[in-house]
Amino acid sequence: MAKAVTTKIKLISSADTGFYYVTKKNSRTMTEKLTKKKYDPIARKHVEFRETKIK
């Protein structure tokens, strides 16, 4: 069976609030770690979210 192209990743807040988003990533086209600026409702501002593995 073929390996899936898209994998689920967890985007963890850099504000250390423990808040995270779950999204998909195409592992063939985006080989580097993903970072995005998104809204953290616990910190109540936009912060950078970094990619980690889902355990």
Q: Which of 39, 1, 35 lies closest to 17, judged by CA?
A: 39
> Which residue segment(s) compose the domain that 29 sits in?
6-52
- How far, in Å, are 19, 34, 39, 40, 52 from residue 44 at the CA level? 11, 22, 7, 6, 22
Provide the domain count of the chain: 1
- pLDDT above 90: residue 24: yes
Report the CATH number at residue 10: 2.20.28.120
Assess if residue 1 is contained within a domain. Answer: no
Q: Could you give the percent of the chain with pLDDT greater than 90?
A: 89
As a whole number of angstroms, the distance between CA 20 and CA 5 comes to 22
Residue 55: per-residue pLDDT: 83
